[in-house]
Amino acid sequence: MEAAEQSHRSYSNRKNELQAFDDTKAGVKGLVDAGVKKIPDIFIHPPDVFEKNSGDKCKDFCIPVIDLEGLDKDQESHQEIVDKVRCASETFGVFQVVNHGIPVNVLEEMLHGVRRFFEQDTEVKKEFYTRDYTKKVAYHSNLYLFSARAADWRDTLYCVMAPPPEPEELPAPCRDIQMDYSKHVMKLGTTLFELLSKALQLDPNHLQDMECAKGLTSACQYYPPCPQPELTLGTTRHTDGGFLTVLLQDQVGGLQILHQDQWIDVPPLPGSLVVNVGDLLQLITNDRFKSVEHRVVSNVIGPRVSAACFFSTSVVPSTKLYAPIKELVSEDNPPKYRETTVQEFSSYAFSKGLGGESRLLHFRL
Ligand SMILES: O=C(O)CCC(=O)C(=O)O
Ligand SMILES: [Fe+2]
């Protein structure tokens, strides 16, 4: 067979396989429920993605854990927290928080709610399956299924949480807890943006006044156990497009960040939340804070469940312009990015999918 014909044939095979998988509306969980022992070809990632694992070296880099307990204690403790937030956001672009004010039972119930959604009757769950990205609630497997190099071993439930939905719009198995958890995350967001503003020596309300904490979308992730974790990924490497992400993960593990060209584990810590800088925060801070690349590796054990909440106004129509904050630029440190809107940035990021070069490059001056 001619090479071109062969490549065309494998391309159309792949396309058919992707379509057939999507048509099941049962996601990766459906494959596992059916008892697959070998992962289908569409999930096999190229071998280069498995390089640069830090192994033992990850002990050298500990992702900072910041205790927010001392926030209201005294001036000194408060300043210490601001300094830690600054240092973590500049060097890692990620930190974990403990004593963040969200009760442990709320965190646990949120993870249970996610699990209940994915583990409910497939026929009922299918009603939420869609690739219509204008929907406020959408369940599917692999947002970039048809454009990515390889599919990830993961199913997702997306919900717009601020502006708040009518509770009835959310799936019943996680409705109440999603409403409750999001309120807590919005409140924590206020605290985090205040700390980040102070860390930048800006007015404490600066980032909130820029509407960084106004919109919230959530991605509830379900990673079924994977029979061949060495061949696929749970989530392909990416940066988050919004301003800031608050991530709740269960105790299975698998989340990694790229730091100094090495993949480093973000270990699950009971009661903690992972906070990471997104592309838009990197843009408005003129690269002071770093939007961190991260991914999730697959595991034979599972399911792994997580809930990522993205602070971004991508679904709130607005013509508000974002550019590097005036107070953070100078003659010696001129703006590195042109003005953009959250909508323009988000649609560009969406068109690029996961795993490519930084979406920020497109906006660089
Ligand atoms: O599941 C996780 O731990 C990470 C998910 C993630 O990176 C995302 O939803 O953007
Ligand atoms: Fe992410």
Report the pLDDT value the prediction gives residue 133, as an integer from 0 to 100: 83
3-state secondary structure of 120: coil
The residue contributing the CA closest to ligand 1 atom 5 is: 308
Check pLDDT > 90 for residue 2.
Answer: no
Check pLDDT > 70 for residue 60.
Answer: no
Which ligand is closest to the CA of 218, given by its number?
1
Report the pLDDT value the prediction gives residue 314, as an integer from 0 to 100: 85
C-alpha count within 13 angstroms, C-beta hemisphere, residue 83: 7
Within 10 A of 315 (CB to CB), how many other CB atoms are there? 19
Tell me the CA–centroid distance for residue 33 and ligand 1, in Å: 23
Q: Percentage helix, strand, coil, to 5, in the chain?
A: 40, 20, 40
**pLDDT band with cut points at 50, 70 and 90 for residue 196:** very high
Check pLDDT > 60 for residue 1.
Answer: no
pTM over 0.90: yes
Report the pLDDT value the prediction gives residue 266, as an integer from 0 to 100: 95
Mean pLDDT of 79-105: 98
Tell me the CA–centroid distance for residue 115 and ligand 1, in Å: 15
Between 5-9, 29-33, 40-44, 313-317, the lowest mean confidence (pLDDT) is in: 5-9
Which ligand is closest to the CA of 222, given by its number?
1
Which ligand is closest to the CA of 273, given by its number?
1
Tell me the CA–centroid distance for residue 296 and ligand 2, in Å: 9
pLDDT, tens only, 141-156: 999 999 999 999 999 9
Report the pLDDT value the prediction gives residue 315, as an integer from 0 to 100: 85
Check pLDDT > 80 for residue 63.
Answer: yes
Report the pLDDT value the prediction gives residue 134, as an integer from 0 to 100: 86
Report the pLDDT value the prediction gives residue 62, as an integer from 0 to 100: 84
Amino acid residing at 314: S
The residue contributing the CA closest to ligand 1 atom 6 is: 308
**Domain locations along the chain:** 2-363
The residue contributing the CA closest to ligand 1 atom 3 is: 255
Q: How far apart are CA 338 and CA 365, in angstroms?
A: 6
**Do residues 295 and 254 touch, judged by C-beta distance below 8 A?**
no
Which ligand is closest to the CA of 303, given by its number?
1
Mean pLDDT of 39-50: 93
Helix axes 175-199, 104-119, angle to 10 degrees: 130
Report the pLDDT value the prediction gives residue 42, as an integer from 0 to 100: 96
Tell me the CA–centroid distance for residue 240 and ligand 1, in Å: 9
Check pLDDT > 60 for residue 311.
Answer: yes
- Residue 105: burial class (beta carbons within 10 Å; 0-12, 13-18, 19+): exposed
Mean pLDDT of 56-70: 78
Q: Which atom of ligand 1 is nearest to the CA of 234?
A: 1
Mean pLDDT of 248-260: 96
Between 54-63, 222-231, 267-276, the lowest mean confidence (pLDDT) is in: 54-63
Q: Nearest CA to 149 among 238, 226, 38?
A: 238
**pLDDT band with cut points at 50, 70 and 90 for residue 54:** low
Mean pLDDT of 258-267: 93
Tell me the CA–centroid distance for residue 85 and ligand 2, in Å: 19
Pocket of ligand 1 (CB under 6 A): 219, 221, 235, 240, 247, 249, 255, 294, 296, 306, 308
Report the pLDDT value the prediction gives residue 58, as an integer from 0 to 100: 52
Q: Which CATH architecture fits 2-363?
A: Sandwich (2.60)
Between 16-20, 130-134, 231-235, the lowest mean confidence (pLDDT) is in: 130-134
Report the pLDDT value the prediction gives residue 59, as an integer from 0 to 100: 55
Tell me the CA–centroid distance for residue 93 and ligand 2, in Å: 12
